[in-house]
Structure 1
Amino acid sequence: MKITKFTFLAILCFAFALTSCDKDDTQETEPQFNFSSEDNFRAAQADNAIDGALNIVENGYVEGEEGRSQMNSFFNECTIITIQPNGNGGTIILDFGEGCQLNNGSIVSGIINMSYGAITGGTRTIDYQFEDFMYNNNSVTGGGEIFREIANSNGNPQSTINESIVIGFPNTSITATRTGLRIAEWVEGVGSGTWQDNVYNVTGNWDTELTNGFNRSGLVTEKLVRKLSCSFLVSGLLEVTQNNFTGVIDWGTGDCDNLATLEVNGQVYDIVL
């Protein structure tokens, strides 16, 4: 067949059009990660606030029922602790009033209610509920159940916590709901008589959903470390899945600070809590 100059140009344009379409299609189907510093900050802040609040729950129970840390309490005089045993269990109420600074520097207010049954086989179940509670300017509502082991397989006290907790943030109507499972093993400071050397290793998995539509799933891949003397998690890795992407939140290497990072596709984003 004889190919004229016009025919050749037509074929060339058609081929270019196909190539352009293929390229556009590839670009359109290739997923893009849209980083929102506000949403990731809120989700990380929710993690930190919930972990801090649950440590307060655990230490309220430990000091009130197990009688630990009596030489040097985690709670100061602005905390009213009411313990009501009933023979097979009892209740503990932690009342922080309109504002109370704990001995580790955390600022809290409101009430935490706990009720617990009898010890069976070295374990007991504790129900907890937050009432008008605030942790470092974040509102905390909801609650859950704690399966408390006096000694786990390592010989350490351990709390396995089911949670459904809502965090409210300052200066916004957006809230975060976290549901999941948190396991806290008390690994240092057991029986020392003071809270200042208490260290907990935290594992588990949970889903966090913001009311603006942002959501992510988290799985602890390297234990999160909480020193009770610090208001923040100090180390550990949390693998997160959001917007069809998987990333890792790194809480640091042990220093007590308000910094964390999120790494996605080799890009590192700073998170200031």
Structure 2
Amino acid sequence: MKTKFHPLRVLSILAVGALTLSSCSNDDTQAVDQEEEVNAQISVETINQADEIDLIDEELTNITLDIIASAEADANGFTAKVSDFLPPCVTVTTVVTDSSVERTVDFGDGCELPTGNTLSGSYTITHSVDSDAPSRTFQVQTSDDFFFNDISVNGSKTIVRSINEAGNPNANKTVSLDVVWPDGESMSYSANKNREWIEGAGTGFWGDNVFLLSGTVNFTNRLGVSYSKETVVPLRREWACRFIVSGVLELSREDATVSLDFGDGSCDPFGTLTLPSGEEQVIRLRRFLAN
């Protein structure tokens, strides 16, 4: 019996084979694309932006508690312990009532701090009159014209200052900030953090201050994409250096998590980023301080 030749049947077989090969090729491409997508979910740009907001939060905390400590030292006659951190271009105006104190910290049109950051505009610090309480709470609120290195900052924080079990000054913070960069990028930022002052407390000289920073952060970019960040190893910040010198953070988005290691104590703007794939890369942080 002869077999008839059916062109349509041959075309069908070829088409199925082509689809099978295409499917395998697409599967491979999709696997690569998915891996690249996971690694790109937390970009270096996003990490830098979150790190810069961390720096803004740190600096506001440092300025606030430095002003309070200096005011307390001055009121108690300990002039040798009054800090020399704030330059003359910063004006602090104090209004006292029977139950509260409000301090307006004004940086004018631009004032460069010893840390190399330039601030403009003003913010307020509000607290109770009782300076002898073992734990004190300070409310911080920025004005509409407050800028940090040309970044618009609008928000508030609550700082609870106390002495911890190790005998070190401790600041626990709840933070809510909205920031806008000069290029229009923006981010909403909320955090619960802790700052332990482990060296330099009470000397009156800002350059020997050393802090350990820890806590959790949630932030959302202008596209509505949300991220979280958690301290794995406390971050060491030395005021004699403009950068975090050691410590480890984990940053997450959905199921992707990256790790950021700030190093071994060297004063530099670099960190080691470990991607979900296990790949490591060195990145430069705090761009406006790393020129």
Equivalent residues of 1:195, 1:228 under 8 A apart: yes
How far residue 53 of structure 1 moved from its aligned partner, in angstroms, is 2.6
What letter matches 2:102 in structure 1?
A: T
What letter matches 1:218 in structure 2?
A: K
Structural mapping, 1:119-268, within 5 Å: 122-131=134-143, 132-149=145-162, 151-170=163-182, 172-242=183-253, 244-264=255-275, 265=277, 266-268=279-281
Secondary structure in structure 1 of the residue aligned to 2:208: coil
Q: Give 1:3's aligned residue.
A: none
Give the Cα separation in 1 of the matches to 2:105 and 2:237: 21
Question: Structure 1 residue 41 and structure 2 residue 52: aligned?
Answer: no
* Deviation digits for residues 80-107 of structure 1 (CA, Å, limit 9, x no counterpart): 1123343544122211111112233322
Equivalent residues of 1:94, 1:113 under 8 A apart: yes
Give the Cα separation in 2 of the matches to 1:144 and 1:71: 24
What letter matches 1:102 in structure 2?
A: L
Give the Cα separation in 1 of the matches to 2:110 and 2:44: 30
How far residue 28 of structure 1 moved from its aligned partner, in angstroms, is 3.8
* Deviation digits for residues 52-90 of structure 1 (CA, Å, limit 9, x no counterpart): 232222222222345587454111111111233435441
- In structure 2, the CA distance between the partners of 1:206 and 1:58, relative to structure 1 (3 Å rule), is same
Equivalent residues of 2:71, 2:82 under 8 A apart: no
Q: Give 1:59's aligned residue.
A: 66
Identity in percent: 27
How far residue 24 of structure 1 moved from its aligned partner, in angstroms, is 4.2
Equivalent residues of 1:180, 1:205 under 8 A apart: yes
* Deviation digits for residues 17-39 of structure 1 (CA, Å, limit 9, x no counterpart): 66864774576475532264433
Give the Cα separation in 1 of the matches to 2:284 and 2:109: 29
Give the Cα separation in 1 of the matches to 2:48 and 2:201: 33
- In structure 2, the CA distance between the partners of 1:79 and 1:70, relative to structure 1 (3 Å rule), is farther
How far residue 258 of structure 1 moved from its aligned partner, in angstroms, is 2.9
Rg comparison, structure with higher value: 2
Equivalent residues of 1:49, 1:138 under 8 A apart: no
TM-score, with normalisation over the residues of structure 2? 0.78
Query: CA-atom RMSD, angstroms?
Result: 3.2
Give the Cα separation in 2 of the matches to 1:134 and 1:85: 27
How far residue 139 of structure 1 moved from its aligned partner, in angstroms, is 2.3
Corresponding pairs, count: 269
What letter matches 1:167 in structure 2?
A: V
More helix by share: 2
TM-score, with normalisation over the residues of structure 1? 0.83
Unaligned runs of 5+ in 2: 1-5
Give the Cα separation in 2 of the matches to 1:119 and 1:22: 71
* Deviation digits for residues 201-223 of structure 1 (CA, Å, limit 9, x no counterpart): 11100112111344321000111
Give the Cα separation in 1 of the matches to 2:56 and 2:272: 17
What letter matches 1:168 in structure 2?
A: V
Question: Structure 1 residue 104 and structure 2 residue 104: aligned?
Answer: no
Give the Cα separation in 1 of the matches to 2:132 and 2:30: 59
Q: Which moved more, 1:104-113 or 1:183-192?
A: 104-113
Secondary structure in structure 2 of the residue aligned to 1:229: coil
How far residue 192 of structure 1 moved from its aligned partner, in angstroms, is 1.4
What letter matches 2:57 in structure 1?
A: I
Secondary structure in structure 2 of the residue aligned to 1:196: helix
What letter matches 1:159 in structure 2?
A: A
Give the Cα separation in 2 of the matches to 1:122 and 1:23: 67
Q: Give 1:84's aligned residue.
A: 95
Give the Cα separation in 1 of the matches to 2:14 and 2:280: 40
